[in-house]
Amino acid sequence: MKEVNLNVPLKIVAYEELSDKQKDLVNQSREATFRSYAPYSHFKVGAAIALSNGEVIVGSNQENAAFPSGTCAERSACYYAHARYPEAKFETIAISARGTDDEFVENPAAPCGACRQALLEYETLAGHDVQVILAGKKDIYILPSVKSLLPLAFVEF
């Protein structure tokens, strides 16, 4: 028997410690929460993806009366990013969320499993790590890659 521990390397930083580019991405993800359409859950998520061509693509969760037809912010952003700029590589993604009280969440919201799998596809296409920034009201979590959030991911066989 062999036991292996898969660790998630997580840095917790304050907004002031981010680079200007990271701050801009966090700001854009925060702004995107105001364009979320979440009349059912009232949980507003925003995502901003920095691409290798210098563009930033944002997305927000878009809900639907037929609940499963709605889409998370991360997937609305990553699918649009690749549909709009199929040649560009993903560099960094920032994610923010506001709760039912409309305030930014204290503890950063992490992408759901389906979004992790979707984002991993674009990290693989990029051929390098895509940094993930999860922004809470005060604490900001930085992960080095999507893969670090999804150990033992499903990969094409």
Enumerate the active-site residues: 74
**Helix (H, G, I), strand (E, B), or coil: what is residue 39?**
coil
111 scored as a contact of ligand THU (CB under 6 A): yes
Q: Could you tell me the smallest distance in angstroms from the CB atom of residue 39 to ligand THU?
A: 10
Give the C-alpha separation, 65 to 132, whole Å. 30
Cβ proximity of 46 and 29 under 8 Å: yes
In this chain, which of 73, 93, 130, 143 binds ligand THU, going by CB under 6 A?
Answer: 73
* Short-list 44, 55, 22, CA closest to 101: 44
115 scored as a contact of ligand THU (CB under 6 A): yes
74 scored as a contact of ligand THU (CB under 6 A): yes
Q: Could you tell me the smallest distance in angstroms from the CB atom of residue 2 to ligand THU?
A: 33
Give the C-alpha separation, 134 to 12, whole Å. 10
15 scored as a contact of ligand THU (CB under 6 A): no
Comparison of 74 and 91: residue with beta carbon closer to ligand THU: 74
Cβ proximity of 106 and 137 under 8 Å: yes
41 scored as a contact of ligand THU (CB under 6 A): yes
Q: Could you tell me the smallest distance in angstroms from the CB atom of residue 1 to ligand THU?
A: 35
User: Given phi > 0 = left and psi -120 to 50 = alpha, else beta, which region is 54?
Assistant: left
105 scored as a contact of ligand THU (CB under 6 A): no
